[in-house]
Amino acid sequence: MKLRTKITLFIILINIFSLGSMTFLSYLQMKLILNEQLEDRLSNIAYYVSEDYLVKDALMGNKNIPNLNINDHIEKIRIETGVDFITVIDMEGIRLTHPNEKNIGKRIRGGDEGRVLEKAERYISEAKGTLGTSIRAFVPIFYDGRQIGAVSVGNTLVEINYETYNKTKQFIPYIIIGLILGVYWSLVLASSIKDEIMGLEPKEIALLLKEKNAILENVKEGIVTLNESGNVIQYNKEASRILGLYEEDINYNFRDLINRDQIHSILNDTESYQDFEIKISTGITILCKNNILKDDKNQVIGQVINFRDMTEVKRMAEELTGIKKMAWSLRAQKHEFMNKLHTISGLIQLEEYDEAIKYISKTANSSNDVTGTITKKIKNMNVAAFLLSKYYHAEELRIKLEIDKHSYLNKIPHNISEEDLISIIGNLIENSFEAVNVDGTGEVLLKIIEEEDKLIIELSDNGPGIPSEIAEKIYERNFSTKSEHRGYGMFIVKNIIEDANGEITLSVDDGTSWHIEIPMEEGGNL
């Protein structure tokens, strides 16, 4: 049976049950109301009969009023009032009146007459008499303060049920209309649900769910699904490994679980972002991509964040990049030395031997100064190799990259990784390279000072500087004065520094200057 059919039948059954229940309850309520009204009416009729002087004379034994005449009199009252019976009895329980004259002179049946004869009570009871089970009202009859008999007025249950049915059946057309409307709207609802689930059957949905879970658990990326409030709905094993998520984190807000400003910023946005880095902890960086989920009305209903652990990727990249940088440096050196050899060759051909010797000595000393400064002052080999590659790259670009001779670096601060430090220096140097002139006049000065409690990085250039309106936005994600698909450099730098409890300062005066301070000890503050 298809889902649409199941839904339709289910809703129809619910409608039938609901309407049936309402009808039954209405019947019971109607019966209750009619019973209450009937009891009051029977009690009033009985009281009226108990005060009838002819009834009292008959009970006192007045021979001038035959029992048959009393019965005719009572029957007229019964017919006029519409009750099933009015029975007058004496103190022995013997009937003086009855709709069936054969029962006159016989004892009343039902067993409920004791209270009215013995205690002179006025009450309503239900009992089975000669006419069947009935509701009857008992009222004592008094003469000169002395009880001389009683009267019983009642209606059979058959009559009561019939009257209740007649009162209830007027609602049947409305019930039928309700049932028809219920069937119609059940068909509409079933079709709507079917459309919402794109015509899929439950087995197909279950299969898709299993396939989705299998894919989620086997992909090499971490995936976290959030609702419109930013609460975690689902995550896979890789996300659990990288972020340390557990089953009890389901339905918790992602902002509270991952306390990172970058996470908070993307959760507050209504647009998707591609490939941006977030530092989770020291030495652990993830590359994120978020996809905003929207409904047909373009309202945000959630988002999916997928990410890769960049730690291992960066480590491998550093190894590969190291080889590339070495080759690049050698190529730059070859190019530069070929130019210098041409210069020396020209001086020799012009027989300027002294100038040639001076030029050779100057070139050798310059190369030795740079290499010596980097290798002797910068003890971290990866940072030293990185700076050396940048130096030769600058020479190739005809930019003067000067590394201050007072620079010194022995150990990396505890709050950042080696890759983070290279990322900071690299982004700053590349920004300066793009800012200065490449006609031989461009200058970039780098200074790295390791003090006891902090690491200081200073970089300045003689470029045009950064306008004030741009300086205010330079740390924003996706902001760039260059080509598209950029704008993460200074955003990443600032977040690395802030995560390390450091500070970064920008000043613009005949160029751009950066001043960075990072505490050496873990948890240290400036």
Residue by residue, pLDDT tens for the chain (526 residues) are 676 677 777 777 777 777 777 777 777 777 777 778 888 989 999 999 999 988 898 888 765 555 457 888 999 999 999 898 999 999 999 999 999 888 988 999 888 888 999 999 999 998 888 888 888 899 999 998 899 999 999 988 887 777 767 766 777 787 778 778 877 777 777 777 777 666 677 777 777 777 777 777 777 788 888 888 888 888 888 888 777 888 888 888 877 777 665 565 666 665 666 566 666 665 567 777 778 888 777 888 888 888 877 766 666 655 554 455 555 555 555 555 666 666 767 777 777 777 777 766 666 555 555 666 687 888 888 888 888 888 878 887 889 999 888 899 999 998 888 888 988 999 999 989 998 998 889 999 999 999 989 999 999 999 988 887 787 778 776 666 654 444 457 878 888 888 888 999 999 888 899 999 999 987 666 6
**φ/ψ (deg, to 5) at 129:** -115, -155
For 44-70, b/e burial (b = at least 16 CB within 10 A) is ebbbebbebeebbebbeeeeebeeeeb
What's the rounded Cα separation, in Å, for the pair 420 and 196? 48
Ranges of each domain in the chain: 3-168, 352-519
What's the rounded Cα separation, in Å, for the pair 459 and 479? 21
* Residues 290 and 307: beta-carbon distance below 8 Å: no
Token pair in block for residue 57? 């004379």
The predicted structure's pLDDT at residue 191: 77
Q: Which architecture characterizes domain 352-519 according to CATH?
A: 2-Layer Sandwich (3.30)
* Residues 411 and 450: beta-carbon distance below 8 Å: yes
* Residues 422 and 283: beta-carbon distance below 8 Å: no
The predicted structure's pLDDT at residue 285: 72
Contacts of 516 (CB under 8 A, 6+ apart): 424, 456, 457, 458, 497, 502, 503, 504, 505
* Residues 511 and 296: beta-carbon distance below 8 Å: no
pTM score: 0.44
Handedness of CA 117, 121, 127, 133 (dihedral sign): positive
**φ/ψ (deg, to 5) at 289:** -145, 125
Burial classification of residue 399, based on how many CB atoms lie within 10 Å of its CB (0-12 exposed, 13-18 middle, 19 or more buried): buried
Contacts of 24 (CB under 8 A, 6+ apart): none
What's the rounded Cα separation, in Å, for the pair 398 and 468? 28
Tokens 């040639």 label which residue? 356
Helix (H, G, I), strand (E, B) or coil at 262: helix
What's the rounded Cα separation, in Å, for the pair 419 and 382? 9
Tokens 């002294």 label which residue? 354
* Residues 464 and 481: beta-carbon distance below 8 Å: no
User: What is the layout of strands, in order, in the sheet containing 232-235?
Assistant: 232-235, 222-227, 300-309, 284-294, 273-281
Token pair in block for residue 470? 């741009």
Token pair in block for residue 356? 């040639």
What's the rounded Cα separation, in Å, for the pair 201 and 172? 37
**Do 352-519 and 3-168 have the same topology in CATH?**
no
What's 484's DSSP letter?
Answer: S
* Residues 213 and 233: beta-carbon distance below 8 Å: no
What's the rounded Cα separation, in Å, for the pair 518 and 505? 12
- What string of DSSP letters covers 331-349? HHHHHHHHHHHHHHHHHHH
In one-letter notation, the amino acid at residue 39 is: E
The predicted structure's pLDDT at residue 429: 92
Q: In angstroms, how far apart are the furthest CA atoms of the chain?
A: 176
3-168: CATH class: alpha beta
Query: Which one, of 221, 370, 188, lies nearest residue 290 by Cα?
Result: 221
The predicted structure's pLDDT at residue 117: 92
Q: For residue 73, how many other CB atoms are within 10 A of its CB?
A: 19
The predicted structure's pLDDT at residue 248: 82
For 17-37, b/e burial (b = at least 16 CB within 10 A) is eebeeebeeebeebbeebbee
